């Protein structure tokens, strides 16, 4: 199954019918991420997916809303919680699922797994297993664009835990100093693994901290896909106009534990339930129903289409071949070979 989408770029939503179609597309994207992640839980629990896996359930509005503001020419750099980013970017679900299964048809030929999705053709430059590890490469991509005169945006996703890493501060400083076309998107889900934000940051207003580097910064309701899209579009337009990097603090929440290995004992269950009341998928459904833009039949059809696509991806991954043993050293360079002229 291949996920297809129209070319990226600004969409007009001035008329009610256009607005409804646009919202339906956002809803479909969020549902695809949600159902993909839920299916991954089932497959992981059945030991059909192995290794580390970090789920994006609850944060779908951020990936979908931000990617709507980007064009095909822009670049995206992600984290180890990147399934949603990749799907929203347009990486086919079958290529991602095959990667989960470790199959050669995966987007990283089965060599990266859950944390290292990659698709150069769609300018999706990873998954990165290191906290804040994607920030320096994002600055490098943006610097290359600036030096070659290309009007492109490099969008870099990272979590609130990255603020404790030197890479964030070094990258933010250079990006502001050199006025690089970078969109910093901090997915503040209130926990760096099992450590609450207030326990690892003396100043918890992350947008204000980023503003200290001289870049345009503001906080966004990361549970509202429409608010996310509007903020990301405004930031991207500012970056393209040459105003330098922008920082968006997406205030969101992950409904699942940090990873599939995490017992999630550090959060109060009542807190999780309160955030679930703001579920971004349910919120958009309610809004569309209130505006008479979504019927029960249309929602059921959408659910069926999304679920069928994911099932196709699972079946394709199951049937896909593993990499031949004789190819295991392909793309691997030894120190001796690397030193040769």
Quote the CA–CA distance of 163 and 197 in Å, as a whole number.
10
| The pLDDT of residue 12 is above 50 | no
Buried b (16+ CB within 10 A) or exposed e, 230-248: ebbbebbebbeeeebbbbb
Burial of 211 (0-12, 13-18, 19+ CB in 10 A): middle
Quote the CA–CA distance of 185 and 142 in Å, as a whole number.
15
Range name among 7-11, 12-16, 52-56, 264-268 with the lowest pLDDT average:
7-11
Range name among 124-133, 236-245, 326-335 with the lowest pLDDT average:
326-335
Question: Residue range 217-228: average pLDDT?
Answer: 98
pLDDT band at 7 (very low <50, low <70, confident <90, very high): very low
> Which is nearest to 74 in space by CA: 173, 134, 7, 168?
7
pLDDT band at 22 (very low <50, low <70, confident <90, very high): very high
pLDDT at 329: 87
pLDDT tens-place string over residues 166-201: 999 999 999 999 999 999 999 999 999 999 999 999
| The pLDDT of residue 44 is above 60 | yes
Q: What is the maximum span of the chain, computed from C-alpha positions, in angstroms? A: 66
> Which is nearest to 79 in space by CA: 120, 116, 128?
128
Q: Which residues lie closer than 8 Å to 140 by C-beta, 6 or more apart?
A: none
| The pLDDT of residue 13 is above 70 | no
CATH H-level superfamily of 16-320: Thiamin diphosphate (ThDP)-binding fold, Pyr/PP domains (3.40.50.970)
With beta carbons less than 8 A apart as the criterion, state whether 29 and 70 touch: no
pLDDT at 2: 38
pLDDT at 332: 84
Question: Residue range 48-56: average pLDDT?
Answer: 94
| The pLDDT of residue 14 is above 70 | no
Count CB neighbours of 284 within 10 A. 24
Share of the chain above pLDDT 90, in %: 89
Q: Which residues lie closer than 8 Å to 136 by C-beta, 6 or more apart?
A: 167, 170, 171
pLDDT tens-place string over residues 93-102: 999 999 999 9
């Amino acid at each position: 199954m291949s996920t297809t989408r129209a070319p990226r770029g600004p969409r007009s939503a001035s008329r009610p019918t256009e607005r409804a179609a646009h919202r339906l597309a956002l809803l479909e994207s969020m549902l695809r991420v949600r159902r993909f992640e839920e299916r991954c839980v089932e497959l992981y629990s059945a030991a059909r997916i192995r290794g580390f896996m970090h789920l994006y359930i609850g944060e779908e509005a951020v990936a979908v809303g931000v990617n709507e503001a980007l064009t095909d020419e822009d670049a995206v750099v992600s984290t180890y919680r990147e399934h949603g980013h990749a799907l929203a970017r347009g990486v086919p679900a079958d290529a991602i699922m095959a990667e989960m299964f470790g199959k050669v048809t995966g987007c990283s030929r089965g060599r990266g797994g859950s944390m290292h999705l990659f698709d150069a053709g769609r300018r999706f430059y990873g998954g990165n297993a290191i906290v804040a590890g994607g920030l320096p490469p994002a600055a490098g991509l943006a610097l290359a664009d600036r030096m070659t005169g290309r009007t492109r945006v490099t969008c870099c996703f990272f979590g609130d835990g990255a603020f404790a890493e030197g890479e964030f501060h070094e990258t933010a400083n250079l990006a502001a100093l050199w006025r690089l076309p970078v969109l910093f998107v901090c997915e503040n889900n209130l926990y760096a693994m099992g450590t609450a934000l207030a326990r690892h940051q003396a100043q918890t207003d992350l947008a204000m901290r980023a503003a200290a580097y001289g870049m345009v910064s503001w906080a966004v309701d990361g549970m509202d896909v429409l608010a996310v899209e509007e903020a990301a579009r405004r930031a991207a337009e500012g970056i393209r106009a040459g105003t330098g990097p922008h920082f968006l603090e997406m205030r969101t929440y992950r409904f699942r534990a940090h990873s599939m290995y995490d017992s999630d004992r550090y959060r109060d269950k009542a807190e999780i339930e309160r955030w679930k009341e703001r579920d971004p998928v349910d919120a958009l459904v309610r809004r569309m129903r209130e505006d008479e833009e979504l019927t029960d039949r249309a929602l059921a059809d959408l659910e069926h289409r999304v679920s069928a696509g994911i099932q196709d991806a699972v079946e394709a991954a199951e049937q896909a071949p593993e990499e031949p043993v004789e190819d295991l050293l392909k793309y691997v360079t030894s120190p001796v070979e690397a030193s040769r002229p």
